[in-house]
A and B are shown apart, each in its own frame.
Chain A
Amino acid sequence: MSFTTDHTFHIGEQHSRNGKPNQDYALSGTFENGLAYIIVSDGCSSGGLTDIGSRLMVLATKQALVEISATINPFENPNAIELVNQRRDTLLEQFRRALDLEYQDLLATCLWAISSSEFTLVNLTGDGIVAIQTEAGLTIEQFEWDKNMPYYPAYRLNQTDSLFIETHGDEPYPFRQTRLSEESGEYCSPKSTLEGMSGWSVQIESSKLISLALFTDGVEQIDSLGYKEAVERLMAFKSTSGQFAVRRMNRFLKEVNTSGRGAIDDISYAVINFDES
């Protein structure tokens, strides 16, 4: 099995209009050990320098994946996700101190996936969308928090988990997973604050996958376009060579920007394509 990966990120209309930076970041590629990876992060708009925070989140995650996958088999070790996220957080703390950043600068979501020819492992902390294309069709897993207040790994770093729990205290199920599947239909699973804080993960046999994409929640904020259609259009690759995700996103934005506000929020995605041949 071979992989092609690509990623892209764009500033949204709101940040562009207000002179704010793009707070999304994405990265993809293949490690020396042959594992393909994709990572996206969305910095909190009301945080600090979260444009830097989202970049550091992605770079720390990439480094953690490199290190952990060099020492254990991430698809067999049940602690792999925890080990990766812990190492990521340790690196983030080091970056924060070295750059004299505040914790609020690091308020950013984190979605990552790694693939070998046997398995693919996906993990989400915060919100966003995981799109899984198989022979059976497209499955879109959407994750959202009430009040648009997602859990960020930086809360744990700053030991402010309890404040986060308090914020969502009066809501029994503030975290929701909505699945739109061409194969199995629609499904919604409300989750408690604690469940949401531990995020979501899945391991899939790579042979079942055609492509896997991670999106920040910007894909849910396209003027006059539902996220299902936006994801479907962004997954409709005409080819999977070169900068295939960049090209698809550019064409998509050109089309949606012709009427209304286009992409209102920053938008990013990263994709792995699986080729059995």
Chain B
Amino acid sequence: MDVTVRIRRYDPEVENPESYWQEYPVTMDDSATVLDALIKIREEQDGTLSLRCSCRSSICGSCAMRINGHAGLACKTQASSALTDGNTIVIEPAGVMPVVKDLVVDFSLFWDKIREVVPYLQPQGDEPEAEYIASNESMLHLSSVTACIMCGSCVSDCTVMEVDPTFLGPAALAKAYRFTADPRDGDEKGVSQERLEQLVEPTGMWDCTRCGECVSACPKGVDPMGRIMALRDQAMESGLNNSNGARHAEAFVDIVGHSGSLNEALLPVKTVGITNIPGLMSFLPVGLRALTHGKMPPLIHPNIENVQNVRKLVKKLEDPPLD
């Protein structure tokens, strides 16, 4: 198989460093991975190419990079499945994190976020002499999260972190969930109240926009976005419904459950709270812009036809299940 590997390169040591593209022709087996191609280039053509890689079997998390525009592990991607324009593979460093050299990015941001969620087990009671007793199901569930190899693919493609680096992000929040969902962490019921209180703060669980990029980028099926949604459920269940995010979710259900469709003028008001004057004032510039651009949602919001059906449906969902 003859392929062209087009690599976005960067050398910080030249004068006025800027990234540039370089193309390498590579001949290799049909079964070779993208990483095989990169190693071949490095070993046979150009030793100046820098990248991280180690295990070759999707477990060390070193070789996350953008392959044809999307983050993934080079060692898990078959070269033959990554050909664009006939025979070209486009390789770029992972996103969000600053580039150090070529395909090597600075992971400081990534690890800082992990540290922020206090990433170790914190049981509150006494340690048992033997192991903690826990169901196999609970451990299998956690293992599907601890299968995260910290490769940074999710962070690379996170659309919120791209514009707001203060967001904890998908990897750290999934890591946090690994503890909040652990029956050994927190109080004797396994509730990690302090963690949840930290995570409902701004930059935490409510800042995810559910774009789903992290889910498709993750090479280990960890489903970071799903874990963030599960964190939200845990927070609401443990009474943490006084954050903007929680009130937004509740207001959404309230409004739709009453009128059958979303009242976009009322939603922000209910989210920040009707008595929260500074909070409401903060919407003024947006409101004025909406007004001048003809985008102001109508202030009168009629119910939809047969709204009673929607109300019944919402009530049914809110009622506890029969069994």
A binds B: no
